[in-house]
Amino acid sequence: MSILSVDNLCKNYGAVQALNGVTFSVPKGSVFGILGPNGSGKTTMLGIIMDILKPTAGSYTLFDTTPDENSRRKIGTFLETPNFYHYLSAVRNLKITAAIKQRGDEDILQVLETVNLTERKDSRFSTYSLGMKQRLAIASCLLGNPDVLIFDEPTNGLDPVGIAEIRELIKQLRQQGKTIIMASHLLDEVEKVCTHVAILKKGKLIAAGDVNEILANDDIVELGAPDMEKLKNIIGRLTGYNDIKEHDNLLQLFYPVGTTNLESINRYCFENGVVLNYMQLKKKSLESKFFELTN
């Protein structure tokens, strides 16, 4: 079952094309990251999904059906900076939120427990740290026990402790069976908490799928020998690597993570008449992979 399916979605603001033919699907039970630099169309995408904005072209479904008020009531959203009454407590603010959303307030204490704010439930919102404010916003999303949660930059502006708290909370919510769709410009955030990702650049979809496939960290083996032409010839017959490049008079072999065996590569070269004078294993960073995709 697809929680969300987007088909050739477009959104224009005059001559500016915020989304340009975007297509992807969000599997049930996933943490799906919409990743891209600022201005890539992430927030526009979420606005369309929640019927805040109308698409110029294309379509989308929620829960494999045409979106309507009932389907959107299954979704908890956090699309803006937390906006609560500063002079009221967490409990009072959530009572107001529940009334606005036409949801019961019987689960307020439960959602506060989920986001680890029980001890501060009677404190004024103005006394909260930014991380606590973000967690209270997530608590408001959980009212009514929705199946799906949508977050726009949930760790924006937080310090490292606050970021770690939100990441851990997202992991816990997924373990509870929630599907989470989150927009972020932080590669590290998506890599640490998401199971799937769609990467946007200037409104276009660059890649979409499993995080481990889209943002794979390659093992790179660099090889050098006195006779580089002979080395290239024999390496061309070697199997197991995904790609081969030349860099600074060295050969670079790109292997899937964890599959590299330097001893067998060295033995293969020696048995085929090439003595290596250089061999080194390197890791291809997620950052370089991301820049490759977006540039």
Q: pLDDT for 115-133, tens place per residue?
A: 999 999 999 999 999 999 9
Would you say 245 and 252 are in contact if contact means Cβ atoms under 8 Å apart?
A: yes
* pLDDT surpasses 60 at 24: yes
- C-alpha to C-alpha distances, 61 to 7, 43, 66, 266, nearest whole angstrom: 9, 18, 5, 53
- What per-residue confidence (pLDDT) applies to 290? 67
- ∠ CA 46-150-186 to the nearest 5 degrees? 80
Give dist(CA 41, CA 205) in Å, integer: 10
pLDDT tens for 73-101 read 889 998 877 789 999 999 999 999 999 88
Predicted TM-score (pTM) of the model is 0.77
Who has greater pLDDT, 281 or 294? 281
Q: Which residue has the tokens 């929640």?
A: 50
- Put the strands of the sheet holding 57-62 in their side by side order: 16-27, 2-13, 57-62
**Alpha carbon 153 to its chain's center:** 10
What is the per-residue pLDDT across 37-61, written as a single tens digit (0 to 9) for each? Answer: 888 999 999 999 999 999 999 999 9
DSSP lists the bridge partners of residue 182 as 33, 151
**pLDDT for 210-224, tens place per residue?**
887 777 667 889 999
Specify whether the CB–CB gap between 208 and 197 falls below 8 A.
yes
Question: For 154-193, what is each residue's pLDDT tens digit?
Answer: 988 888 888 999 999 999 999 999 999 999 988 888 888 9
The pair of structure tokens assigned to 201 is 């650049």
What the chain holds in terms of domains, given with CATH numbers, is 2-214 (3.40.50.300), 219-294 (3.30.70.100)
Q: At 144, which amino acid appears?
A: G
What are the CB-based long-range contacts (under 8 Å, 24+) for 59-68?
Answer: 59/7, 59/8, 59/9, 60/4, 60/5, 60/6, 60/7, 60/9, 61/2, 61/4, 61/5, 62/3, 62/4, 63/1, 63/3, 64/1, 64/2, 64/5
243-292 pLDDT per residue, tens: 888 888 899 998 887 788 899 999 999 999 999 999 998 766 556 666 66
The pLDDT score that the predictor gives to residue 293 is: 63
E strands, the chain, are 2-13, 16-27, 31-35, 57-62, 75-78, 148-152, 179-184, 196-201, 204-210, 219-224, 243-247, 250-255, 278-283
Cα dihedral across residues 255, 219, 30, 154: positive or negative: negative
Residue 207 has pLDDT above 90, yes or no: no
Sheet with 278-283: list strands edge to edge.
Answer: 243-247, 250-255, 219-224, 278-283
